Amino acid sequence: MSLNKEIARRKTFGIISHPDAGKTTLTEKLLLFGGAIQEAGAVKSNKIKKGATSDFMEIERQRGISVATSVLAFEYKDIKINILDTPGHKDFAEDTFRTLTAVDSVIVVIDVAKGVEEQTEKLVEVCRMRNIPMIVFINKLDREGKDAFELLDEIEQKLHLKVTPLSFPIGMGYDFKGIYNVWEKNVNLFSGDNRKNIEDTIEVEDISSSELDELVGKDAADTLREELELVHEVYPDFDRDAYLEGELQPVFFGSALNNFGVRELLDCFIEIAPRPRPKASDTRLVKPEEEKFSGFVFKIHANMDPKHRDRLAFVKIVSGTFERNTPYLHVRNGKKMKFSSPNAFFAEKKRIVDISYPGDIVGLHDTGNFKIGDTLTEGEIMQYKGIPSFSPEHFKYINNADPMKSKQLEKGIDQLMDEGVAQLFILELNGRKVIGTVGALQFEVIQYRLEHEYGAKCRYENLNVHKACWVDPEDPNSDEFKEFKRVKAKFLAKDKRGQLVFFADSAFTLQMTQSKFPGVKLHFVSEFESVAIQS
C-alpha cells in the first residue's frame, strides 16, 4: 500500500476525562468493537484506586500496567486506530500534557451526573490552545444525571467549546429509552444489556412519523421532537472543517458500561476524525506525506526490572516511513542510530515491526540516549516543537544521603528527569539542586526508585516556592533585566535546558515582580506558547 493510503487510514487519538468518568470503560468497548480483545474487563485500569493515593507502591504497580496501555492499537473497518493512554490522576497531568502533543484528535468523556469536572477543564484547555479536534462523549446515561441542555450549556461555558449534538438522549436514568442518532438519523433503543447486538439500531427516516411513537411511546417521542427542534434552532449544523480546526465540537450521548452509543461514536469518529496532521518543527512545517522519516519522543518508560536499566522511548512518527535497522539521526546529540527491534503496539501486546507509518507509535529500546522531546530524522537538522514543561506545584531541595554513592545519585536523577518524572532546577547562587513535581507523590517515587534502581539515597529539604516561572526578557542586555537578575539573584535557577527560571514564593511576589519589571516576561510554560502572566 502506498504511503498516502497508509496515512489516510490512520487515526491517532487520546481519551481525556476526569478520573471515574469512564475513560477505561470506553477504551475497552472501543477495543471490543475492533476485535482487539474478546471480553469486557480485559483492559487493566491504570488509575490509582481510591484511598491508595498516598501509597506509592501502588504507583509502581500502575507503572507496570501503564507500559501495556500506553498505546492501544486496533483496526476497525480498515482504519488503523491508535489510542494513546493519558493518565487521569492529577499528579500525572504533565504526562498527559506530553501525550497530547502526539495525538491528532481527542475524545472527551464527561459523566452525565457530575458534568464538567476540574481535570477535564485543564486538559480541554490544553487541547483548545492547540486547536486539537475534539469529540465529546457524555457517559453514564443509564444513571440519573443532568438535563442534556443544561450539560451542553455547561460544556460551552466551562470548557469554552462550541458544541453541536450528533446524538440526543431519549429520557435518562430510570427512564432512559435510547438515543436518537442525529448523524445517521436513526434510533437506538436501550435494553440495559451490555451484550446488546449492534444491529438493534432502528432506522427512522422521519421523526414526525408514528413509527417513533410506537418505538418509544408517545410522550417520549413528543419530547424528543421538541428537543430536536430546539437543538436545530440553538446549535450550529455539524461542519467538518470547523471541527478539524478545533472550532466546533460534536457531542454524543451513551453508556460505555452498557456498550450503548459507543458504536455510533466510533463510526462517526472514523469518518470525521483527522488523519495524521502536519507538525511544526523549529525550522518548518513537516507534512506526513513527505517521503523522509521524522518523528519525536513524547514518552519514556523505564524497565520495571531494576536489573535491566533499559527504557522504552515512545516515538510518534510524523512523516515518511520508519524502518527497522535503518540509521536515523538523533538530532540533539548529532549521532546516527539504528534500531534492530522497534516495537509496535497492538491492543495490549507489543511486537517487533519492520515498518511503521505516520500516526503510528514505535517503542524504541534505549539505554539512556533519549530525552522527552528528542527528534529523529533521516539527516535533516530540525527539532519538533511543542513539548513544553509546565511549572511544577511542589518543590524540594534534593540532598545526597550517602556520600559514597554520589555518582549513582547524579545518574539516577538525570535519568528520572529524562523520563519526565519531575523537573530538576539548579540554583544560580549556590548550585543546589531543586526537584519540582506536579504531585506530592512523585517525591516518594523518586526516592524509592533512586534507591532500588540506582543504589543511591537522597534526602529532601523543604523549600518555599509557589511557582517556577520561565524568564523571558524583552531585551537581555537591558538595565532592567540586569537589575532583575541582581535583585532576584537568590531566586533564580536554570532548568534542564539551561533556561532561566524564577522561583516566586507567593502569588503576591509574582505580581509585584511583574509590575516592577514589565520588560521581563514570566511564563508558567517553558515554551512560551501561552500568554505571559498578567501583572
Residue with cell 531566586: 491
Closer by beta carbon to ligand G4P, 70 or else 255:
255
69 binds ligand G4P (CB under 6 A): no
Closer by beta carbon to ligand G4P, 23 or else 279:
23
Least distance to ligand G4P, CB of residue 387, Å: 24
- What 3-state DSSP class applies to 23? helix
- 346, 345, 200, 330: which is closest to 261 by C-alpha? 200
Least distance to ligand G4P, CB of residue 273, Å: 20
398 binds ligand G4P (CB under 6 A): no
Q: Of 15-23, 66-74, 305-313, 359-367, which part binds ligand G4P (CB under 6 A)?
A: 15-23
Least distance to ligand G4P, CB of residue 143, Å: 5
Least distance to ligand G4P, CB of residue 366, Å: 29
Residue 35 C-alpha from the chain's centroid: 24
Cell of 274: 483527522
17 binds ligand G4P (CB under 6 A): yes
Q: How far is CA 456 from CA 241, 401, 402, 449, 534, in A?
A: 54, 8, 7, 9, 42
509-516 long-range contacts, CB within 8 A, separation 24+: 509/466, 510/466, 510/467, 510/469, 511/535, 513/484, 513/488
Q: Which of 9, 10, 11, 140 touches ligand G4P (CB under 6 A)? A: 140
The whole-angstrom separation of Cα 380 and Cα 491 is 39
Least distance to ligand G4P, CB of residue 178, Å: 14
Q: Of 54-62, 135-143, 212-220, 276-284, which part binds ligand G4P (CB under 6 A)?
A: 135-143
Q: What are phi and psi of 493, to 5 degrees?
A: -145, 170
Q: Find all residues with CB under 8 Å of 190, minimum gap 6, and list them.
A: 141, 142, 176, 177, 178, 179, 255, 258, 260
Phi-psi region of 53 (alpha: psi -120 to 50; beta: other; left: phi over 0): alpha
Q: Using CB atoms within 10 A of its CB, is residue 404 exposed (0-12), middle (13-18) or buried (19+)?
A: exposed
Closer by beta carbon to ligand G4P, 68 or else 401:
68
12 binds ligand G4P (CB under 6 A): no
Under rule CB under 6 A, how many of the chain's residues touch ligand G4P?
19
The whole-angstrom separation of Cα 171 and Cα 115 is 17
188 binds ligand G4P (CB under 6 A): no
The whole-angstrom separation of Cα 190 and Cα 170 is 9
Q: Which of 24, 62, 281, 526 touches ligand G4P (CB under 6 A)? A: 24
Q: Of 134-142, 170-178, 184-192, 336-344, which part binds ligand G4P (CB under 6 A)?
A: 134-142
120 binds ligand G4P (CB under 6 A): no
299 binds ligand G4P (CB under 6 A): no
Of all helices (H) and strands (E), which one includes residue 471?
Answer: strand 467-473
Q: Which of 20, 55, 267, 393 touches ligand G4P (CB under 6 A)? A: 20
Q: Which of 21, 32, 409, 471 touches ligand G4P (CB under 6 A)? A: 21
Cell of 77: 473497518
Q: Are 155 and 108 in contact (CB under 8 A)?
A: no
22 binds ligand G4P (CB under 6 A): yes
Closer by beta carbon to ligand G4P, 191 or else 208:
191
In 370-478, alpha helices (H): 406-419, 441-454
Q: Of 1-9, 16-24, 186-194, 213-221, which part binds ligand G4P (CB under 6 A)?
A: 16-24
What is the 8-class DSSP label of residue 171? Answer: S
- 246, 245, 265: which is closest to 256 by C-alpha? 265
Cell of 184: 445517521
457 binds ligand G4P (CB under 6 A): no
The whole-angstrom separation of Cα 273 and Cα 253 is 18
88 binds ligand G4P (CB under 6 A): yes
Least distance to ligand G4P, CB of residue 112, Å: 8
Least distance to ligand G4P, CB of residue 140, Å: 4
Closer by beta carbon to ligand G4P, 253 or else 454:
253
Cell of 470: 520561565
Instruction: Mark 30-49 with x for binding to ligand G4P (rule: CB under 6 A) and - for no binding.
Output: ---------------x-x--
Closer by beta carbon to ligand G4P, 84 or else 450:
84
Closer by beta carbon to ligand G4P, 197 or else 464:
197
Buried/exposed code over 112-135 (b: 16+ C-beta within 10 A; e: otherwise): bbebbbebbeebbebbbeeebbbb
Q: Which of 255, 343, 415, 513 touches ligand G4P (CB under 6 A)? A: 255
In 20-178, alpha helices (H): 23-33, 56-69, 93-99, 118-129, 148-159
Closer by beta carbon to ligand G4P, 89 or else 521:
89
Q: Of 51-59, 92-100, 163-171, 253-261, which part binds ligand G4P (CB under 6 A)?
A: 253-261
Q: Which of 116, 170, 231, 257 touches ligand G4P (CB under 6 A)? A: 257
23 binds ligand G4P (CB under 6 A): yes
Residues engaged in binding ligand G4P (CB under 6 A): 17, 19-25, 45, 47, 88, 139-140, 142-143, 255-258
